[in-house]
Homo-oligomer: A and B are copies of this chain.
Amino acid sequence: MEISSTQNPNIKAVVKLKKRRERDAQSLFVVEGNRELNRALESGWELIEFYSAPSLFSDEVADRSFPLDAPPADKSYVCTKEVFKKISIRENPDGILGVFKQKNLLLSEIKLSEAPLLLVCDHIEKPGNLGAMLRTADAAGVDAVIVCDAQTDMYNPNVVRASMGALFMLPVILCESHELIPWLKQHHINILSTTPQSESLYCEKDLTKSTALVMGAEHEGLSEDWLQADMQQIKIPMLGSCDSLNVSNTSAIILYEAIRQRNRDR
Contacts and interface: CB of A to CB of B under 8 A. Distances in A.
A140 interface: yes
Contacts of A253: 252-253, 256
A203 B135 CA distance: 20
Contact of A249 (B237, B242, B252, B257): B252
Interface string A235-258: 011111110111011111100110
Interface string A219-249: 0000000000000000011111110111011
Contact of A141 (B140, B164, B239, B250): B239
A18 to B, nearest CB: 17
Interface string A153-164: 000000000101
A249 B135 CA distance: 10
A135 B242 contact: yes
B260 A203 contact: yes
A241 B39 contact: yes
Nearest to A240: B138
Given A252-B253, A260-B203, A136 B246 contact: yes
A259 interface: yes
Interface size class of A (residues with CB under 8 A): 35 or more
A112 interface: no
A48 interface: no
A132 B246 contact: yes
A252 B139 CA distance: 14
Nearest to A254: B256
Interface of A: 39, 43, 128, 132, 135-141, 162, 164-166, 169-170, 203, 236-242, 244-246, 248-253, 256-257, 259-260, 263
